[in-house]
Amino acid sequence: MPRALVTGSAGFIGFHMSQRLLNDGWQVFGLDCLSDYYDVELKKARHRILSNSGEFRAVIGALQDKDVVAAIFADGAFDAVFHLAAQAGVRHSIDAPATYVASNLVGTFNLLEAMRAAPPAHALMASTSSVYGANAKMPYRETDRAVSQMSFYAATKVATEAMAHSYAHLYDVPVTMFRFFTVYGPWGRPDMAYFKFTKAILEGQPIDVYNQGRMRRDFTYVGDLVEALVRLIPCAPVRPGRPEDVAPGDSLSTVAPYRVVNIGNEQPVELLHFIETIEAALGQKAEMRLGEMQPGDVVATWADTGLLKSLTGYAPSTPLDRGIGEFIDWYRSYITKRRPQNPENFRG
């Protein structure tokens, strides 16, 4: 039976990733510190569902604790490591930057050190579309320069990319960094806009719409992201023999078994249309409170997913109305009634 480590297993994406691996016959070790950045009960509910499988091993601890990380690797290397644990949130990184240093930088360093001693067959590590920062050329391609980050969150994530590349080069740890684009869906994070919009609309409260609504996002359904990651598992990068062996358009490093891959829907959606989709699913109109652009934010994101398609033959394609409908169904059953549901009722 293949063994996987999922960091951030009680988080939104980590939960869905762990569930998919368990369903596919993996043994999953899930590491999570259950931080209070948002509702801890939501995180515990996700872990309880995962624990229904006899092949899930929950480890409650922080990546910043190197002894905790070392203990997880005590039995040897994993077939796959999915590094999803991180302090997320663009705006929160303005208010509490130290937490991003501890979680994203120190935590990732401890994981890299553990993988240095026991290299997995493939390490798939989360980055973000935010690393593209002020890049004006779209759609974003993995081979574009990413040197103009607009938030400290993005800065820490691009730093983890550089850290992972150095370990791939020095110690032959095969790493795929995946940059995901505005992931949404059931069991999502309460700090995300679609979650906040839904809550406010149902409670009859106004929603804050920044930059007068003149924003676009490449919204990606969580089930599509997980499917892409599953298909990337056998695509571990291999150090090229010569720089010229790297195909045009491939982000494979010329000096390391390291690659960057975008995972997005490749269809940027206007923010106002996104809100209309939520309104339609809820059957209620939103009262919008228009505001200015927030510090650290960007006007648009748009993924080029050509590399993902060439590596896996797959591209995310869940229509926005379907994905939002899945989220609203979950929200009404779990958040509104405050009782956990069988996640098999929600595609993820």
Condensed to tens digits (0 to 9), the pLDDT of residues 205-258 reads 999 999 989 899 999 999 999 999 999 999 999 999 999 999 999 999 999 999
The percent of residues in the chain predicted with pLDDT above 90, rounded, is 87
Task: Name the phi and psi angles at 51, rounded to 5.
Answer: -70, -10
- Please state, in angstroms and rounded to a whole number, the distance separating the CA atoms of residues 13 and 18: 9
Q: Which of 178, 227, 188 is nearest to 23 (CA)?
A: 227
pLDDT band for position 300 (cuts 50, 70, 90): confident
DSSP state of 176: E
- Please state, in angstroms and rounded to a whole number, the distance separating the CA atoms of residues 325 and 209: 21
Sign of the Cα torsion 141, 311, 3, 170 reads negative
- Taking residues 90-109, report their average pLDDT: 94
Q: How many residues does the chain have?
A: 348
Q: Which of 174, 160, 172, 169 is nearest to 87 (CA)?
A: 160
40-50 and 12-23 helices, crossing angle to 10°: 0
Residue 342 predicted with pLDDT over 50? no
Task: Name the phi and psi angles at 143, rounded to 5.
Answer: -85, -5
Choosing from 100, 132, 140, 153, the catalytic residue is 153
Q: What is the pLDDT of residue 198?
A: 97
Task: Name the phi and psi angles at 270, rounded to 5.
Answer: -65, 140
Spatial CB neighbours of 221, under 8 Å, sequence gap ≥ 6: 183, 184, 185, 265, 316, 318, 322, 323, 326
How deeply is 67 buried, as exposed, middle or buried, from its count of CB atoms within 10 A (0-12, 13-18, 19+)? exposed
**DSSP letters of 205-233?**
--EEEGGGG--EE--EEHHHHHHHHHHHT
Residue 75 predicted with pLDDT over 90? no
- Taking residues 31-37, report their average pLDDT: 96
Contact 284, 202 (CB under 8 A): yes
153 included as an active-site residue: yes
Domain 3-345 belongs in CATH node 1.10.10.10: no
DSSP state of 247: P
Residue 48 predicted with pLDDT over 80? yes
